[in-house]
Structure formats: C-alpha cells, structure tokens
Amino acid sequence: MSEHMVIIGAGEAGCRAAFALRELGFTGSVTLIGEEVHLPYERPPLSKDALTGEAAPGPKTIATAARFEASAITCLTGIKVQGIDRMARQVYLSDGRSLAYHRLLLATGAHARRIALPGDAVHHCVTLRRFEDLERLRSHFRPGAKIAIIGGGFIGLELAASAIQRGAGVTLIEVQQRILSRGVPEEIARMVEARHLAAGVQLVCGIPILSLQDRGRQVVLRLANGQEIVADLVVAGVGAVPATELAEATGLAIENGIAVDARLRTSDPSIFAGGDCCSFPLPVYDNRRVRLESWRNAQDHGALAARNMLGADDAISAVPWFWSDQYDLSLQVAGLVDQGCSLVRRDLGPNAVLQFHLDESGRLVAASGIGPGNAVARDIRLAEMLIARRARPSVDALSTPKVNLKSLLAA
C-alpha cells in the first residue's frame, strides 16, 4: 500500500506543502483538506486590492483545479475534519469518510480575534479573515459611509486605507498610545500615522472603548473620555488566535498555538504543523519560541514540513519577514524588533528610512523600513541576511547611506 500524506488546512502553508511533496519526488497519495468552498486562495489581497478594486473580485487562487489535477493532489473543499485518531492514523471528515495517513500536516491557520465589549451591538462588529467577510466589507466601504475600525496594527491600518480609497469616512481607534506599538519603531509609526491623517483618516489613540450600542442601522462606540463615535459598520482588526481546536482534541501539546520543534514536528512524531497555527523555536534567536502570522512564514513552513515529512531532518533557518502596503508606502520588517535595545537610523531619501535594531552586544537582530514603492526592499533583504549571520556591523556603517550593506556581508 502506498504512503498517504494528508494535509488539513488549504491555505498558504498547506498548499505549499502539497506541491512541495510532488516537487521532492513523492509518488504516494496527497490529500489537501479545506473547510471553505473555494479553491485555496491568497489572503493578503483581502485587505488591499480585493477591497479597493472597482469590480467585485473572485478569490485569487493559489492554484487552479487543473494544476492540482496535474500534480495528482486531491483537493477537498467545503469539508471539515471532525477528528483524528492518532493510534489508528485516521482522519474523520464531515461527509462521513475517513482517511488513513502515513504523515499528517496541520496547517489550520488562525481565526480573527473577536472583541469583548459591553453593549448590544457587538454582533454588528465584523472581522476580515475569509472571502465572505470581504464581500460584506465591500458593500459598506462606499462614498459617504461611516466606518469605525478598532485596532491600529497592520490589518487595521490596511483596512482604513482601503475604506478611505473607496470614499468612506474612517475613524480608527487604538487603545495603545500610538499605532503599531508592537510592530515598528516610533519614527516609522509616525510616518504611517501622518500618511493616514493626510488621507483623511481620523485617529483616536490611547482611549479605551467602553461599549458598543445599537442605534438601528448604526452603532455608537462610547469611549472612556466621553466621546461617542457613530458608525455604519464597526470592523475589528485586533489580531488573530491560532486554530488549535483539532490539535487540542487529539491531545497534542499546545503553547501559544500547536507546539512544534525546529523541524515542525508536534508531540506526535507522525504529525507536523506549520503556518499561523503553530509556535516554534527560532534557532537564530537562541530557540526563542514564537508564533508568526505572515505569508512568507507560511510558505517557508510548507516547504520545510514537506521535506521533513519525507524523512529529512532540516531545522528552521529563516529570519522572520513581514510587509504591509500603506497607500503608496511599503513597510517591511525583518527579524524580531523586540529583541533589540538600541536603534541606528539610515536615511534613504524622501519619505524613506531604515531603522536597525541592535541587542546589547551590538548584534543586528532586526531591521524596519518604510518608503515609496520598493525603496527599502533591497536593504531590508540585505539586513535579513546579516541577521541570519548574527552579524555585528559597526554603527557608523549602518547609519551611513554610502556604505553598501552588501559590503558588510562580505566582511
């Protein structure tokens, strides 16, 4: 009987793993299982192009049905996994079928975090995670509409930019003292803030929300300073929680997500996990355990999981990387910014800046950059390579634009 690889979760990590198995020469059965009725699709465009385009879009698929067929990958859509029997190595599906597996990959992703506020209008507060959520947002993001967005992180800001570009009025509420308080240095956050203010977004920072009250077709947000914000729609962009329900039910170790080792193995050696749903140790940061929600991390995990499901013993080596489009500005971050204790600034010209994050020993642990178009992309990529090498470049070299970062790699 040929080996059967089963992948639960048809997002970026799950799809990448399925195709990587074939690229690596696996000739057994591969089954990819997704809860949504759509073919696997890209999620990053949901808060950007798919919201701002004139025509109502369809999902931007990761692969066509023909490509799945050509690669002999069985892609099941609209199917929920009801349970896993680890002893029998069986997966039980909502349509009554069961699948035997040789190796199993959990790539179940994450759920949008819901807000918990008093009031009778919490049910009017929506989130963006799936394509169906996009359709509702598009119907409200229109000229004259009043949109309130809770959360000044990357997703909340991207939604604010998209709503403004579609002609809606936007008020964004962030309970911390500034936007992007956990993501980027203050200077870069201020540049993002200035761009949103110039576009017409109303920002409210440092004031808690007390309640959401239903007012017919509108919602009233009552703030701790007595202010009331009236909106046609409230959108929560306050992060995501890992989808661990299936893993918990089958008894796998959980630690801020499904706990895996540096090779993406769970506490069951026949089961792997990757992408947004799992936490893992990062060797480049002395095995600090993290959970990352990013497109590239999902891609990296899918490829790594496929190799190790086939018997390799490869450890995670990638440096975290993230990007966000804010109007005409591109924001990119490499590494973990909270590992740093000092900053070194590099000016790249009009509206473009890099901030290098150094630890106490002078090691480069992260880099944050913002600028129009691809102004920071090359330097962020070079910084990523320096981080991977645990480099300790001189402060003068980092701060001087004339010093090519590539020369620091050679050194």
Residues 6+ positions from 4 with CB-CB distance below 8 Å: 28, 29, 30, 31, 99, 100, 101, 102
Residue 1, pLDDT > 60, answer no
Q: pLDDT tens digit string along 348-368?
A: 988 899 999 999 999 999 999
Which domains can be identified in the chain, with CATH numbers? 4-111+240-309 (3.50.50.60), 114-236 (3.50.50.60), 328-410 (3.30.390.30)
Please give the Cα distance from 337 to 354 (Å, whole number). Answer: 13
pLDDT band at 119 (very low <50, low <70, confident <90, very high): confident
Q: pLDDT tens digit string along 307-339?
A: 999 999 999 999 999 999 999 999 999 999 999
pTM of the predicted model as reported, rounded to 2 decimal places: 0.95
Residue 168, CA distances (Å) to 96, 140, 143, 193, 201 in order: 46, 8, 5, 18, 10
Return the bridge partners of 163, or none: none
What is the model's pLDDT at position 121?
A: 73
pLDDT band at 301 (very low <50, low <70, confident <90, very high): very high
Query: Which range has the worst mean pLDDT, 9-18, 31-40, 115-124, 273-282?
Result: 115-124
CB 105 within 8 A of CB 117: no
Mean pLDDT (whole number) for 114-126:
80
Mean pLDDT (whole number) for 88-100:
97
Residues 6+ positions from 405 with CB-CB distance below 8 Å: 379, 382, 383, 386
Please give the Cα distance from 376 to 370 (Å, whole number). Answer: 6
pLDDT band at 117 (very low <50, low <70, confident <90, very high): confident
Rg for the chain, CA atoms, rounded = 22
Residue 66, pLDDT > 60, answer yes
pLDDT band at 125 (very low <50, low <70, confident <90, very high): confident
Across all residues in the chain, what is the average pLDDT?
A: 95
